[in-house]
Copies of this chain bind each other. A is one copy, B any other.
Amino acid sequence: MNTTAKKIAELTRGEEEVMQILWRLGDAVVNDIIAQMSEPRPKYTTVATFLKILENKGFVGHTPEGKSHRYHPEVSKEQYARGVMSTMLSSYFGGSLAQMVSFFSQHEQMSVSEMDEILEIMRNAKQ
């Protein structure tokens, strides 16, 4: 067992939207995040509040920059994805990745090149 494992909280939809942008940008000041949002853009303080909440939840940290803060993720997209994807997998596919892949192949959402990529991945993983 991994003794350093931490329970990662769930994000609300609004919080996740901000995190997605921060994951994409790597780090950002409030205005950078607003710039990435689509109309109608939220007010400056709205985004600042989300960042504060995310900081309290341990999802982001900041370093001072001039009179402002530059924010960065403390929880990686991969870490968070791990949790949400395993929830999805168990909720919708009985916990079976094979069932999920099958689902996508049935819904014609899988191209031949994508299949080839997956084959390649599994060839590598299998050794």
Contact = CB atoms under 8 A, between A and B. Distances in A.
Interface of A: 20, 77-78, 81-82, 84-86, 88, 91-93, 96-98, 100-105, 107, 109-110, 112, 114-115, 117-119, 121-122, 125-126
A1 to B, nearest CB: 14
A63 to B, nearest CB: 26
Number of copies: 2
Nearest to A124: B105
Contact of A98 (B20, B88, B98, B117): B117
Contacts of A119: 119, 122
Contact of A88 (B88, B112, B115): B88
A101 B84 contact: no
A101 B81 CA distance: 13
